[in-house]
Amino acid sequence: MSLAVIFDVDGLLLDTERISSEGWRRAMSVRGYTLTDKFYLNMVGLTPKDVRPIMAAEFGDNFPFDEAYADRLEYIDNYVRLHGIPDRPGSRELLDYLKDKNLRMAVASSAPGARSREKLALTCLDDYFEVFVFGDEVVNGKPAPDIFLGAANGLGVPPQNCIVLEDSAAGVRAAHAAGID
């Protein structure tokens, strides 16, 4: 029986959620909006396509999402250029352990693929994984099961033989919807 582990990236393997949060805060502040921690948690694990209506519902239909999103990405890029991307404690040790046990591994992240692949390459984590599924490659983002079903399918492992490691409520709901622990 084949077993596999499917990983989220941002906030789980890489300590990027605080960088993303600060990017949103700065992008919104210059436009006169305030981002609370509680509201930010509603966006964690979602695709940009799914974040847009949440922000419109909270801040109004005229909220300049595209401009704020672009400023957020610029902040993240500048931060990474100056400081790199820190790992979450224990992430490499866990990946090494699973690799030593010959467990198959995949990435399933709501973030856009190009940026995620770049982060994984910059941190030299990409070599651990056989399959990569990103938010811009599925029809429905988390909390729908599409991303995890795509990762399990790509690995050729039934969902019930997978484990998902996830740090967001949307991701946990997506894993359960896919029939994965």
Do 135 and 153 meet the contact criterion of CB atoms below 8 Å apart?
no
Which one is catalytic: 8, 50, 71, 146? 8
Note if 8 is an active site residue.
Answer: yes
Helix (H, G, I), strand (E, B) or coil at 109: strand
47: which 2 tokens? 């695709």
CA angle 70, 118, 45 (to 5 degrees): 60
Phi-psi region of 78 (alpha: psi -120 to 50; beta: other; left: phi over 0): alpha
- By CB atoms closer than 10 A (0-12, 13-18, 19+), residue 64 is middle
Q: What is the rounded distance in angstroms from the CA atom of residue 7 to the CA atom of residue 115? A: 16
For tokens 């990435």, what's the residue?
A: 107
Instruction: Give the residue numbers annotated as catalytic, written as ranges.
Output: 8
